[in-house]
Amino acid sequence: MSEFPHTVYVVDDDAGMLESTQWLLESVGLQVRPYADGRQFLNAVNPEETGCVVLDIRMPGLGGLNVQEELQKRGSQLPIIFVSGHADVPIVVRAFKSGAFDFIEKPFNEQLLLDSIQQALQEHQKTSRQQRGDQHTDALITSLTRREKDVFIPLAQGYTSREIAEQLDIGIKTIDLYRARVMKRLGVERVPDVTGIAVAIGLLDPTNLRKK
């Protein structure tokens, strides 16, 4: 998944508002994909892209809240900035409870919208990086052999090669070999980094480390 350029999806059934919003965003260098209705947008959106959605709350057919619900069903994490000229408290509350990033009333201040979009893009990019990092780490752990996994956890807990050898009833030289292979596969040089990886992916409780 490419992080650049960001894609801002703009969904609004008001042709004039759609065009002016697109012009505004493109004027500051953003890549924009405009859609006149919710269904058209859902048929075209790529949830793997880094970006956000500027979504009108009230539209004929599929309204903004329905679009939000459908995106959630698809597992999309694109931040949604709702815009509306007819917002009432229950709608705003429902939007935020369902995870909306922001809610801006029309006619909106251009800088307010731009600031909100920038924040949404930064947040989504950060989240995407973290997810890719987690997926990469999971793949590395999965690639370990059974014996390497046997060494990985006690190593992460802070046990020495001698202590791990006693636990597994294997020679110290063999443990040193597996230890080196584990660290090479994980791309780390220090035991604390092994510990950090194990804690980050949930294989090790940080309270269950070896007491020095």
**d(Cα 156, Cα 20) in Å, to the nearest integer?**
55
Task: Indicate where the chain has its CATH 3.40.50.2300 domain(s).
Answer: 7-132
**CB of 107 closer than 8 Å to CB of 153:** no
Cβ 3 vs Cβ 92: under 8 Å: no
Q: Distance between CA atoms of 16 and 175, rounded to whole angstroms?
A: 69
Tell me which CATH code domain 7-132 carries. Answer: 3.40.50.2300
Please state, as a whole number, how many other Cβ atoms lie within 10 Å of the Cβ of residue 84.
21
Residue scoring higher pLDDT (33 or 206): 33
CATH 1.10.10.10 residue window(s) in the chain:
144-208
Distance from the Cα of residue 83 to its chain's centroid: 23
Per-residue pLDDT reduced to its tens digit, 70-94:
998 888 888 999 998 876 778 888 8
Per-residue pLDDT, averaged over 64-69, amounts to 92
pLDDT over 90 at 11, yes or no: yes
Angstrom distances, CA of residue 176 to CA of 161, 165, 181, 211:
6, 9, 9, 21
> The dihedral of CA 29, 30, 33, 34: what is its sign?
negative
Find how far residue 128's CA is from the centre of its chain.
4
Taking domain 144-208, whether its CATH number is 1.10.10.10 is answered by: yes
- Return the ∠ at Cα 48 (arms to 99 and 78), rounded to 5°: 20
pLDDT tens digits, 153-209: 888 888 889 999 999 998 999 989 988 988 888 888 888 888 887 877 777 776 656
* pLDDT exceeds cutoff 50 at 3: no
